[in-house]
Amino acid sequence: MPAGDPPPPIPGARLLFSLDPAVSYLNHGSFGAVPLSVQRVQQRLRDEVEANPLRFYAQGLLDRIIHTRRHLAAFLGADPDGSALVPNTTAGVSIALQSVRLAAGDEVLLTDHAYGAVMLAAKRQCRRAGATARTVTLPLGATEAEVVSRVRDALRPGRTKLLLVDQVTSGTAQVLPVRQIAAAAREHDIPVLVDGAHVPGMLPVEVGEIGADFWVGNLHKWAFAPRGTALLSVAPGWRRRIEPLGVSWEQDAGFPLSVEFQGTVDYTGWLAAPAGLYALRTLGVETVQAHNAALAAYGQRVVGEALGLAPADLLDPGGPGSMRIVPLPIGLATTQAEAQALRLHIAEKLSAETAVNAWGGRGWLRLCAQVYNRPEEYDRLAERLPALLSAFQRQ
């Protein structure tokens, strides 16, 4: 299939979701969308809780959590005994950060593509320890070799105590070569934490083969799980050092149950997550991934052409990703506050949900593609967006 051409729709996929048909939902990457079948499974679990809360929490809950974790870990190629269910990637990152036990003079190295909340978590942990959070710049469009070289050159053996790198960057939608990056860090015995928030369901992955000390990814984005479902995978040498963010009754059990059991939180999303994988597998994992990657490329092309951009201006994500970015006109959405204002304006005026981010002194429109999207949604956005941006810029 030529790059940028729209793929054929997956029959019946659009009917699996309860999204508002009056809105073009082109931002699956932010909060996902839960299939109706998964919503129903979770509601049945909620009904079970309310029918007898004591029985739900006190009889067999741990076994159900362990069973769910094993199911999800197998899908991701992670060791189920070295993984824990967590609410989201940011929570998993915070657990890993505190487990490294930074000291004064240490540093955490991140890239300038790091997710905002993850950067804040790293800075907070460094501030507590008297350590430093430092970033390495990765230019958009850099080759895999260039990315690995820049990261390797930025490492400071003896001082860098953790390298934190995205597998798929959120704001810039780039797929980074984390396996090669982890190998470079291992040359200096520097632990690696991979933020794989967007990976489950979007990309083929074998977590155990990446070679990271910590890996965490959300299943509530591209793997159709209810929101609040993520998996933290930890290498054997770190498991005894993992501490949960809060202490509850399974503290003495150690990782992973000490992390997973947090009293009377809502576990129904985790327990319903295998239904999300079932929905994904029913559609065909490879079929969904290929469809979404092709449709995202089509959306990037038609919107980019409408904005007068050349093909060279439209970056390839570096892998078969379901998200693509389009550079906005110079001077537009150059701060995150301006980007948020523009996103809300697009949603209100064009009935289209997108992501707008400020990165590198420029505004970027991020377009996602999921099985419920259609080429005409991107066509409508392309037709109406240039005039809206011109008017917005004049305000």
**Model pLDDT for residues 46-75, shown as the tens digit of each residue:** 999 999 999 999 999 999 999 999 999 999
Q: Is residue 260 scored above 80 in pLDDT?
A: yes
Band (5; pLDDT cuts 50, 70, 90): confident
Nearest Cα to Cα of residue 195 among 131, 137, 115, 139:
115
Q: Is residue 395 scored above 80 in pLDDT?
A: no
Percentage above 70 pLDDT, the chain:
99
Band (318; pLDDT cuts 50, 70, 90): confident
Virtual torsion, Cα 370, 30, 333, 360, nearest 10 deg: -100
The predicted model gives 13-40 an average pLDDT of: 97
| Residue 313 CB coordination number (10 Å) | 11
Q: Is residue 2 scored above 50 in pLDDT?
A: no
- Residue 320 C-alpha from the chain's centroid: 15
> What average pLDDT does the chain have?
96
Band (4; pLDDT cuts 50, 70, 90): low
The predicted model gives 234-243 an average pLDDT of: 97
Strands 352-353 vs 107-111: parallel, antiparallel or unpaired: unpaired
Q: Is residue 278 scored above 50 in pLDDT?
A: yes
| Residue 187 CB coordination number (10 Å) | 10
**Model pLDDT for residues 190-202, shown as the tens digit of each residue:** 999 999 999 999 9
DSSP tag of 59 = S
Please name each of the domains of the chain with its CATH number: 13-33+284-394 (3.90.1150.10), 38-278 (3.40.640.10)
The burial of 244, by beta-carbon neighbours within 10 Å (0-12 exposed, 13-18 middle, 19 or more buried), is given as buried
Kindly state the tokens that stand for 278. 């079932």
Q: Is residue 171 scored above 90 in pLDDT?
A: yes
Give the list of residues 6+ apart from residue 26 with CB closer than 8 angstroms, or none: 299, 352, 353, 354, 367, 368, 369, 373, 377, 378, 381
pTM of the full predicted structure?
A: 0.96
- Rounded distance between C-alpha atoms, residue 82 and residue 255, angstroms: 8
**93 close to 234: Cβ distance less than 8 angstroms:** no
- Rounded distance between C-alpha atoms, residue 323 and residue 248, angstroms: 38
- Rounded distance between C-alpha atoms, residue 259 and residue 273, angstroms: 18
Q: Is residue 257 scored above 50 in pLDDT?
A: yes
The predicted model gives 106-128 an average pLDDT of: 98
Strands 362-368 vs 355-359: parallel, antiparallel or unpaired: antiparallel
Q: Is residue 3 scored above 80 in pLDDT?
A: no
Nearest Cα to Cα of residue 326 among 369, 375, 365:
365
Band (102; pLDDT cuts 50, 70, 90): very high
Nearest Cα to Cα of residue 85 among 273, 213, 241:
273
Q: Residue 29's beta-bridge partner residues?
A: none
